[in-house]
Amino acid sequence: MGAPAWATGVCAGIHAAGSRDVVYVPDNPLSHVLRELGERFRDVRLVLATREEEAFGIAAGLYLGGRHPTVMLQSSGLGNSLNAITSLVLPYQIPMLMVVSMRGDAGEWNSAQVPMGRAVRAILDAIGIPHSTVESPERAAETVRAAGATAFATRVAAACLLSRQVTTS
Amino acid sequence: MTRLEATRAVVDAAGDGPIVASLGHPSYDLFVAGDRPQNFYTWGSMGVASSIGLGLALARPDVRVFVVDGDGSLLMNLGSLATIGLLQPANLVLVLMDNEEFATTGGQPTPTAHGADLEAAARAMRINPTATVRTADQLRERLRDARMIVAKVAESAPTAKPPLDCVFIKNRFMSAIGNPESAVRHPQCHDHVS
Which residues in chain A are closer than 8 Å to B174, comparing Cβ atoms? 64, 66
Residue A86 CA to residue A154 CA, distance in Å, equals 17
Cβ atoms of residues A43 and A68 within 8 Å: no
Between CA B39 and CA B86 the distance in angstroms is 26
Q: Is A83 within 8 Å of B187 when comparing Cβ atoms?
A: no
DSSP string, B104-130: GGT-EEPGGGGT--HHHHHHHTT--SE
* Residue B99: predicted pLDDT: 96
Q: Please, which residues bridge with residue B70 across strands?
A: B97
Q: Please tell me the distance from the alpha carbon of residue B96 to that of residue B68, in angstroms, as a whole number.
A: 6
> Strand A97-101 to strand A69-74: parallel, antiparallel, or no bridges (unpaired)?
parallel
Q: What is the pLDDT of residue A93?
A: 97
Q: Which residue ranges in chain A fall short of pLDDT 50?
A: none
The helix/strand/coil state of A138 is: helix
Q: Specify the pLDDT at position B129.
A: 98
C-alpha distances in Å from residue A10, one per residue of A49, A72, A98, A107, B31 = 20, 11, 11, 21, 42
Q: How many CB pairs under 8 A join A and B?
A: 133
The pLDDT of residue B182 is 61
- Nearest Cα residue in chain B from A21: B59
Q: CB of B82 within 8 Å of any CB in chain A? A: yes
CA A136 to chain centre: 16
Which residues of chain B have a CB within 8 Å of the CB of A86? 44
Interface of B with A in 7-66 (CB under 8 A): 20, 40, 42-60
Q: Choose, out of B42, B45, B192, the residue to mutate when testing the contact with A (most A CBs < 10 Å).
A: B45
Report the residue from A56, A66, A88 with minimal CB separation from B59.
Answer: A66
Q: Which amino acid, one-letter code, is at B118?
A: L
Nearest CA to CA, how far is B14 from chain A (Å)? 16
pLDDT recorded at residue A2: 85
Pairwise CB contact (< 8 Å): B179 & A66: yes
CB contact under 8 A, A84 and B45: yes
Q: How buried is B15 (Cβ within 10 angstroms: 0-12 exposed, 13-18 middle, 19+ buried)?
A: exposed
| pLDDT score of B194 | 36
Residues of chain A that touch chain B, judged by Cβ-Cβ distance less than 8 Å: 18, 21, 23, 45, 47-51, 53-69, 83-84, 86-88, 91-94, 149, 152-153, 155
Q: Count CB neighbours of A61 within 10 A.
A: 32
Residue A79's closest CA among A48, A24, A46, A117? A117
Span between the terminal Cα atoms of chain A, in Å: 14
Rounded CA separation B36/A127 (Å): 31
Neighbours of B64 (CB within 10 A): 17
| Facing B51 at nearest CB: one of A21, A58, A66 | A58
In which order are the strands placed within the sheet that holds A97-101?
A45-48, A21-24, A69-74, A97-101, A158-162, A131-134
Residue A149 near residue B187 (C-beta atoms within 8 A): yes
d(CA B173, CA B57): 14
Supply the pLDDT for residue B84. 98
Kindly indicate whether the ipTM for this predicted assembly is greater than 0.90, answering yes or no.
yes
Nearest to A62 among B43, B59, B170 (CB): B59
| Cβ B11 vs Cβ B34: under 8 Å | yes
The minimal CB distance from B51 to the residues A61, A65, A155 is found for A61
A61 → closest Cβ in B55, B79, B87: B55
Burial profile B44-62: b = 16 or more Cβ within 10 angstroms, e = fewer: bbbbbbbbbbbbbbbbbee
* Segments of chain B with pLDDT less than 70: 182-194
**pLDDT score at B193:** 42
Asked if residues A28 and A75 have their Cβ atoms less than 8 Å apart, the reply is no
Inter-chain touch B45–A47, beta carbons under 8 Å: no
pTM above 0.80, yes or no: yes
CA distance A20 to B135: 42
